[in-house]
Amino acid sequence: MTRVEYERSVCDRLANATRIPFRPVSFADGTAPMVGGCHRNADRWVTENPDCDVVRGWVTYSNFGVSIGLTAHSVVRDQDGQVFDITPLENERYRAGMQFVPHVGRDQVFLSMKESNLFIQCPIPNELDW
């Protein structure tokens, strides 16, 4: 799959993006997840909580008027299927506007796309209320 095809698949699913609730947590050593360290935070949480899974994907961060900006993001799914974000933001007021598009496919594809470019811009779908 090319980068263009991958971005198109993410943009096609943007209308179904969801808000992911924040859940404040502490790691086993008592430390809190790091601001801006979502991938490491989620990986560490799953290592310490093997009944959970990492969910990779793309989260909206800006409305550019004609497009929506997304950035690579990782969240967690617990044993009950509840998805939550453990990574705090520098300014939590921004969380209300964040919507998450899960990655579909193998983790290696996500990691490859993230490494090539952390950002995706999608045209604003008509059915979104931005």
Print pLDDT tens along the chain (130 aa).
Answer: 899 999 999 999 999 999 999 999 999 999 999 999 999 999 999 999 999 999 999 999 999 989 999 999 999 999 999 999 999 999 999 999 999 999 999 999 999 999 999 999 999 866 555 4
- CA angle at residue 102 from 100 to 103, to 5 degrees? 140
- Looking at the structure of the chain, the number of domains it has is 1
What is the residue type of 126? Answer: N
Do the domain assignments include residue 129?
no
In this prediction the pTM is 0.92
Do the domain assignments include residue 50?
yes
Range of the domain at 95: 3-123
Nearest to 104 by CA among 21, 13, 15: 13
Do the domain assignments include residue 130?
no
Task: Give per-residue pLDDT as tens, 44-82.
Answer: 999 999 999 999 999 999 999 899 999 999 999 999 999
Do the domain assignments include residue 128?
no
